[in-house]
Amino acid sequence: MWKNYDSAGFSIWHSHYQKLKGENNTEIKATNFRDGLVQSIDKFRKYFMAVIGIYGKEPNFEIIGIWVH
């Protein structure tokens, strides 16, 4: 990837959601939050590529993503 990467035309972003106390403590809450995030940025879908994952074990789920624009 890096030999073909054009830094003048693209950028890479790392995201890590900093949750509040009590957020994302069950799998369904973390999944709903991630899906809501993806739905809210739907209008940018033709400009971005992203991988957003839920990591960890209950009750300490983390939402982490990599975005390419």
Task: For the chain, give every domain's residue range.
Answer: 26-68
pLDDT at 30: 92
CA 46, chain centre distance (Å): 16
CA 7, 3, 68, 30 dihedral sign is negative
pLDDT in tens, the chain (69 residues): 778 888 888 899 999 999 888 888 899 999 999 998 888 888 887 888 888 999 999 888 999 999 888
- Per-residue pLDDT, 64: 94
Q: In which residue are the tokens 């940018």 written?
A: 44
Flag whether the pTM goes above 0.85: no
